Each structure stands twice: as C-alpha cells, then as structure tokens.
Amino acid sequence: MEDKIKLLLADDHPILLNGLADYVQNIDNCAVMAQVSNGMQALNTIIEQEIDIAILDIDMPYFSGLEVVKKVKSIGKETKMVILTLHKEKDLFEEAKNLGCHGYLLKEFALDEIKECIQTVQEGDFYFSNKLNDVLETKETIPEYDSFTPTEKKVLQLVSQAKTSSEISELLFISKKTVENHRSNICKKLKLEGGHNSLLKWAIEKKDLLN
C-alpha cells in the first residue's frame, strides 16, 4: 500500500461512483481508500486519512467540490484536488484553477483520461484535459446580433470586408439608399455614434464573429 497512490472518490451518483471506483482499482499503482457521496464525508475523510489525490464532483450535498477544495486548502492539507464534473462553464473551470486544483475532468471523458490524470497529478503537474479546449474555448459573442434582420447581417458582413455602400448595393441587388438605411439602423442598434467610420471600425474589429 505504501507505494500506491491513495485516492478518494466523491460523487453523489452511486452508479458513476461505483463504476469509477471499479475502473481505478484496476490501475496498478492506485488504491481507492474511500468512496463518499457528499462533500462533508469527503472533507472528513481527507482530514482523517492520508489521501494523495481527491477526485471530487462539483455538485454534492453539504459541501460542493469547490467548497471542499477551499476548506482543505485552509487547513493546510497537501492532498491534491481534481474536479470531476458535467459542468462546462468557463467560470467554474477558472475558479477551480484559481483555487489551486491540480486537475479538471469532464465526466463524459473520465474513463478515457483518469489514468493519465492521476499519474500526472501525482508527479506534481497539472492535468486539465485537452477535451476542455473544445468546450471551454468561449468565443466572444455580439449580444445585439440576434436583433439584426437577415439583410442587416449581410450588410454588416460586407462592411467588415471594407465594402462601400455602392459596392454593397451592387452585391445585394438593393439601392444605395437602402444600404444607407440599413447602416443607420445597425448603428442605432449598436448605439454607435460617428456614422460610417464608427461602423466600419466596429465591423472590422468584429470581423471574425460576423463571417
């Protein structure tokens, strides 16, 4: 047991918890010291036992996984903390990192990655799954975009390509005056002042979001 990595698994879903425990027990150098279903049990186990790595769900009764991390850090225990969750919000991921968690895994990929995660974390490194890149890579959005009409969206795309009103009118088969009206309406929705120049500057800055 001395040379094995001592693990705590905490999740309030019995099927997932048992499945994960069965899988981890079959990793040669790992030993599951405890399986618990709430944050209070997780915290008490970490305090009472020598746990190398605690793998914690975020949503649990009594204390959430992140609350357990905070309390463990506050008492100076050296247990390394890994968050295992269904949540894909960037703010939760950033909070986990800022609290000093050594790992962050999504449940849907857990069995594929947990062995590598445990080994990496035990060696003192951080393991944040490559799978997170796809779901946590948040693209900037334009809140007003849904309020634009289909034609306004096309006009905006062409403005972002530095097309003039005359060029846009030819491309969209509408009059130059209609293009000007669309540009004016877009500026109002975006609360832009300064007419053509301000819209052109804004559209070029947001070009990647418009095309």
Percent of the chain with pLDDT over 90: 22
Based on DSSP, count helices (H) and strands (E) in the chain, helices before strands. Answer: 11, 6
For residue 166, the model assigns a pLDDT of 94
Reported as a single tens digit per residue, the pLDDT across 85-103 is 877 777 778 888 888 899 8
Q: Where in the chain is the domain with CATH 1.10.10.10?
A: 143-210
Domain 5-136 has CATH 3.40.50.2300: yes
Answer whether 24's CB lies under 8 Å from 32's CB: yes
Domain 143-210 has CATH 1.10.10.10: yes
pLDDT tens across 3-37, in order?
A: 888 998 988 888 888 888 888 888 888 888 988 98
Intervals of CATH 3.40.50.2300 along the chain: 5-136
Closest to 8 measured CA to CA, from 34, 29, 27, 30 = 34
Distance CA 206, CA 211 (A): 9
- Crossing angle of helices 39-48 and 65-74, rounded to 10°: 30
Q: Which two tokens stand for residue 91?
A: 């703010």
* Contact status, residue 52 vs residue 80, Cβ threshold 8 Å: yes
pTM of the predicted model as reported, rounded to 2 decimal places? 0.61
Decide if 8 contacts 55 (C-beta within 8 A): yes
- What is the rounded distance in angstroms from the CA atom of residue 107 to the CA atom of residue 21? 13
